[in-house]
Amino acid sequence: MNILIDKVRVKNFRSLKDVEVNLQPITLLVGANNSGKTTFLQALNIALGVNKRQLTKDDLFINQNGETEQNEIIIDLRIIPINKKSERTEKFEKEWIGIFNTNAQTDESGSFFAFRTLITFKEISDKCETNYYFISNWENPNPQAGDTLTSSARRFILLYFLDAQRDLEQDSKLRGSYFGRLTVQLEKGYEKDKLDEITTLVKELNDKTIDGSKVLSHLKVELSKLNQTTNSTGEGVSLSPFPLKIRDLHKGMKVNFQDNGSDTFGMEYHGMGTRSWASILSFGAFIKWEAEENKNKEGYFPILALEEPEAHLHPNAQRTLYQQLKGIYGQKIVSTHSPYIVGQAELEEYLFFTKKEDAIIISAIENISDMKAHEQQAMSRFVVDSRGEILFSRLVVLAEGETEERFLNLLAQKYFENFYGLSINIIGCGGSNYKYFIKILQAANIPFLVFSDYDNNETRTKVNSQLTACGLDSNNCDELIDLGEDIENYLITAGYENELRQAANLFIPVWFSRENIRERERNRIEINEGLRNFLKTYKTKLAPIYGKILLELNDGRQFPPKILELFIKINTILNINI
């Protein structure tokens, strides 16, 4: 791969009013349902797709007032030369120079090739006209009527759109599927004498099969009456259980799969997960074949637009997907809801999709190259790898540690009806990692709240500096709820000492065995004399216990004030009426 579509601009297409994004060799489109990911893939498909559907005026952007603003859809793409490390290089390789011809352009970094797909709808009818123009200035494109694309790039740069409904079982029956398009060519792979040999073998097999079968022999005799009625002079009717010509073999081709020592089954007996993934793999096989066939003859650059590769797959299987996808030849643009796939990718590879009012916003993590290596690593490790699910949330609460995570989750489940349906994530992220989470959430346009202990000056300074680093004002921060002390002390101050003591006492018999009576007693004394110390020692383990105790209160004290403040903030942000 020596070229890359590095920039895309879409205007006035469905929910995409005006977006511009950067693409990588593999790009993951991340966002809630209905946030424009498929629309974005379809836009690319209009410009470069091998299979296109007819556009109608319904594809125009419609604003909040339900009006279309313009009668045209614009899709701009920029292609740059890259090296093996996917870095931009100065010049295109030989095979592309002729293809881009004089439509290629130059800027301060070297050559590039950019073109516009312009779809114009007629005033009255639903018909549209599609024109392609070269673009000489990406930042300020202004193609004129005569600047028609003369490059043949669109014949060599091809986008294949694999939607979520793929299924190898179906593919194997369709000539137009990638499986079909590859197997149709199967004759090509044989030496001439091998081909003849197989043809003879198949003929022999056919004869033997018919002769040995009473049913088929019977059928053959009866059908031969056809020869009499049509006065045929040729060979007349014959039966062939197996295709006579090698090139017809693909018609009956089946894919079987054996799993963990079970019998071998045809695809139709396998689950959708296997069938869907097999379909993607057969696409990969097709692409690899085409690329090999075209080598040294013409340029060939496939782009895979893929919807939810994780569909129907087991989480463990999902983990292997990313690497396999990466291995497919060409550029990949993949929409996904899988934290497992997201967790494997690089920070540059995300595009976040969010719906804001009538239009979609697409964003990315900015200035990654300016970050220090350890910062990038921390982001990958602490955030996307271990907490990938937050990227699919509507709101994230960043709490100090596991204690807070457990406690707050328990209370929130009670407070919010349909808590899981709201896609709220409450996570403990460890006091010094706030900034990594915040930066990614900011990039993804996901609202967040920080629920911090602020228990001593040191912590205070640490949290403040992290907020400042993320561009927030730590003295006046709407996103921040601080307890002023650690959660246990806060609860005692807020009047929950009895409940905490109760929890501690409930915990002892669970934690210390009956035999160890002395230990139990010693702890009981400790609870009475030094509850705070005890709480500190068994922090995380106690949180669910006192959480449950709080939830059973019916004197209006179920939710401590600071926690209620947090929940009310969540309500406001998500616009939920209770």
Partner 1 sequence: MKQVLSEEQQNIAFFNKCEGAILVEAAAGSGKTRILTERVRHLIMEKENKFFSVLCLTFTNKAADEMKERLENDIPKLKERVFIGNFHEFCLNNIIRSQRQVIGLQEMPHIFDETDKKKIIEEVLLMNDTLKNIYQFPNAKTPQEKAKKQQELISQCVDFISTAKRNLIIIPDEISSLEGWTKERVFLYKNYNYKLANQNAIDYDDILLYAYRILVERPRIAELYRDLYEYILVDEAQDLNYAQYQILRVICGDTHKNVMMVGDPKQAIYAFNGASPDFMQKDFISDFGAIKKEITKNYRSSTKVLELAQYIQPNGGIPNNYFEGIREIKSFEDEKSEAKWVIAKIKEWLNKGYYKEENKEVEIPIGIENIAVLSRTRYIFKDLITELENDEILKSKFYLRKGSEKFEPESVFMKIFDWGLRVIINPLDVLHFNQIYQMLKVEIPRKDNRLEHLLQLNNFDNYANLPKNQVDLLTKSWKELNENPTRLDMILNTLKEGLSHLKIQDEEKIIIHFDIQKFEELWTGFLMNTASNKQSLANFRYFLAVKSVDENKKGITLSTIHTVKGLEFEVVFLIGMNDDVLPFYKAKTLKEIAEEKNNAYVAVTRAKHCIYVTYPLSRIMWDKPKARQTSRFITGFKS
Which residues would be at the binding site for partner 1 (CB under 8 A)? 91, 94-95, 97-99, 101-106, 110-111, 131, 134, 136-137, 142, 144-148, 150, 152, 296-298
Strands of 331-336's sheet in order across = 157-162, 301-307, 331-336, 26-31, 350-356, 359-363
User: 8 near 75, Cβ under 8 Å?
Assistant: yes
Q: How far is the CB of 130 from partner 1 (least distance, A)?
A: 9
**For residues 94 and 122, which CB has a smaller minimum distance to partner 1 in the complex?**
94
Q: How far is the CB of 2 from partner 1 (least distance, A)?
A: 12
Q: How far is the CB of 296 from partner 1 (least distance, A)?
A: 8
Distance CA 341, CA 159 (A): 22
Scanning 427-516, the segments in alpha helix (DSSP H) are 434-443, 457-469, 487-493, 497-511
Plot region of 19 (φ>0 → left; ψ -120 to 50 → alpha; else → beta): beta
**For residues 91 and 225, which CB has a smaller minimum distance to partner 1 in the complex?**
91
Q: Cα dihedral sign for 509, 511, 516, 518?
A: negative
**For residues 9 and 569, which CB has a smaller minimum distance to partner 1 in the complex?**
9
Distance CA 198, CA 190 (A): 10
- The three-class DSSP label of residue 406 is helix
User: 361 near 393, Cβ under 8 Å?
Assistant: no
Q: Choose among 275, 322, 329: nearest CA to 304.
A: 329
**For residues 103 and 177, which CB has a smaller minimum distance to partner 1 in the complex?**
103
User: 334 near 162, Cβ under 8 Å?
Assistant: no
Tokens 């017809």 correspond to what residue? Answer: 248
Distance CA 243, CA 272 (A): 29
**For residues 81 and 388, which CB has a smaller minimum distance to partner 1 in the complex?**
81
**For residues 101 and 386, which CB has a smaller minimum distance to partner 1 in the complex?**
101
Within 8 A by CB and 6+ apart from 369, the residues are none
Q: How far is the CB of 135 from partner 1 (least distance, A)?
A: 10
Q: Which two tokens stand for residue 90?
A: 């100065």
**For residues 268 and 298, which CB has a smaller minimum distance to partner 1 in the complex?**
298
**For residues 299 and 428, which CB has a smaller minimum distance to partner 1 in the complex?**
299
Q: How far is the CB of 94 from partner 1 (least distance, A)?
A: 4
